[in-house]
Amino acid sequence: NVRPRLPELAQQFEAALREAIRVIAKLHDVEIHLHGGVSRPPKPLTPEATALFGLVRECGEALGQPIRWQTSGGVCDGNNIAACGVPVVDTMGVRGGAIHSDQEFLIVPSLAERAALSALVLHRLSGGN
């Protein structure tokens, strides 16, 4: 499971992996088949994405919702969208914790908070104040 930050790093990883496979196969007289690969392109923080993050932060402040960003190292459909040159903010979900575990939870009032945040961001993107 590899999640490179840059396309060049994905290419370097794949080349290094293929070389390791070649060496191991020869050394141990085995046949190794590689399946799959890096399936999601990196999602770099572009100037356009930075501007969108800024808009989300401003809208959050207007609603009394402090917005803080942190990278998760994860991947999502947003990686594919960003690869097309579209700025993506894919971390506007509800507040909660223990993500991706059997203890995952959400804070119910944050459903309305995030809906309001999304609505204000869309309103401002459409040219509204």
pLDDT tens over the chain, length 129 residues:
777 877 888 889 999 999 999 999 999 999 999 988 777 888 888 899 999 999 999 999 999 999 988 776 678 888 889 889 999 988 788 899 998 899 999 999 999 999 999 999 999 999 987
Q: By residue range, what is the domain housing residue 101?
A: 43-129
> Which residue reads 């790093």 in tokens?
9
Overall number of domains in the chain: 2
User: Is residue 14 domain-shared with residue 53, that is, in the same domain?
Assistant: no
Q: How far apart are CA 55 and CA 106, in angstroms?
A: 24
User: Is residue 53 domain-shared with residue 11, that is, in the same domain?
Assistant: no
If one counts every other C-beta atom within 10 angstroms of the C-beta of residue 88, the result is 20
User: Is residue 108 domain-shared with residue 52, that is, in the same domain?
Assistant: yes
User: Is residue 18 domain-shared with residue 71, that is, in the same domain?
Assistant: no
> Is this prediction's pTM over 0.85?
no
User: Is residue 20 domain-shared with residue 1, that is, in the same domain?
Assistant: yes
User: Is residue 4 domain-shared with residue 53, that is, in the same domain?
Assistant: no
Q: What's 90's domain CATH number?
A: 1.10.150.900
User: Is residue 123 domain-shared with residue 94, that is, in the same domain?
Assistant: yes
3-state DSSP assignment of residue 32: coil
Q: How far apart are CA 43 and CA 67, in angstroms?
A: 20
User: Is residue 61 domain-shared with residue 92, that is, in the same domain?
Assistant: yes
